[in-house]
Amino acid sequence: MKVKVFVTTKAGVLDPQGAAVEQAVHTMGYSSVEQVRIGKYMEFNIIADNREQAAAQVEQMCEKLLANPVVEDYRYELEE
């Protein structure tokens, strides 16, 4: 099963990377770009008996390692 994980900073948490990219694209002339948020994107394969087991494992990995629950949110997609 293919897993895609998206980790983004929680709303309200300062995103200096996002602010820097926003400034850079404005400088390049794309002044209509707003609210740039930068996060992590992860792809991997996982072997599991069913979707529920895969989901449980992915959530555990996110909670323990892939996302920092204090300042980051995560969501994931499972593809058969």
78 is a site residue for a second copy (CB under 8 A): no
What per-residue string of b and e applies to 30-56 under the rule 16 or more CB within 10 Å gives b?
Answer: eeeeeebeebeebeeeeeeeeeeebbe
**Contact track, a second copy, 24-53, x by CB under 8 A:** xx--x-x-xxxxxxxxxxxxxxxxx-----
| Residue 21 is a binding residue for a second copy (CB under 8 A) | yes
Neighbour count for residue 75 (Cβ, 10 Å): 11
Q: Which is nearer to a second copy, 35 or 70 (CB)?
A: 35
2-9 and 72-79 strand pairing? antiparallel
What is the binding site for a second copy (CB under 8 A)?
A: 6-8, 18, 21-22, 24-25, 28, 30, 32-48, 57, 60-61, 64-66
